[in-house]
C-alpha cells in the first residue's frame, strides 16, 4: 500500500516521524512491518507540547509546495506513525511526493 492516497481535495499521507532527528528532512519512503509504506521524515525539535507535529506539518507543506495551513494532522498525535491531509491538486501533490520518495 502506498504512503498516500488521493482524496477529492488533496492527499492523505502516512508519515513515520522522528523527533530530535538532528535536522528537518524527508528521507524517502520506508516499508512498515505490515507491508504498507510511509514517508520517512525527521524534525530537529523534541516531541513536546506539539512542537514536533507543528514542525512536521511545516516540513510537509514546504515539500508539497503548499501553505502550512493546507496541512492538517488527522490522527495519531502522539504516535511515531501519523496521518496528515495535504490540500491541493491530488495529481500534482502525488507527483511531488513520488519524487521525494525516490
Domain count, the chain: 1
Which structural domain, as residue segments, surrounds residue 22?
Answer: 4-101
State residue 79's pLDDT score: 84
State yes or no: pLDDT of 36 exceeds 80: yes
Closest CA to 97 of 7, 19, 18, 12: 12
Q: How confident is the model over 48-66, as pLDDT tens digits?
A: 888 899 999 999 999 999 9
Which residues, in sequence order, are bridge partners of residue 26?
41
Q: Is 11 left (phi over 0), alpha (psi -120 to 50) or beta?
A: beta
Instruction: Check residue 50 and give its pLDDT.
Output: 85
Write down the pLDDT at residue 101. Answer: 67
Q: Output the pLDDT for position 62.
A: 94
**What CATH number is associated with residue 90?**
3.30.1200.10
Asked if the model's pLDDT at residue 77 lies above 90, the reply is: no
Asked if residue 102 has pLDDT above 60, the reply is no
**Cell, residue 76:** 495519531
Which run of H or E residues covers position 62? helix 51-64
Split at pLDDT 50, 70, 90, the class of 100 is confident
Mean pLDDT over each residue of the chain, to the nearest integer: 90
Amino acid at each position: 500500500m502506498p504512503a498516500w492516497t488521493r482524496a477529492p481535495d488533496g492527499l492523505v499521507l502516512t508519515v513515520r516521524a522522528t523527533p530530535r532527528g538532528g535536522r528537518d528532512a524527508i528521507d524517502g519512503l520506508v516499508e512498515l512491518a505490515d507491508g504498507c509504506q510511509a514517508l520517512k521524515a525527521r524534525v530537529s525539535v523534541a516531541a513536546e507540547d506539539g512542537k514536533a507535529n507543528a514542525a512536521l506539518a511545516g516540513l510537509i507543506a514546504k515539500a508539497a509546495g503548499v501553505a502550512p495551513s493546507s496541512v492538517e494532522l488527522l490522527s495519531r498525535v502522539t504516535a511515531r506513525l501519523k496521518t496528515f491531509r495535504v490540500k491541493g491538486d491530488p495529481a500534482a501533490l502525488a507527483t511531488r511526493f513520488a519524487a521525494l520518495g525516490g
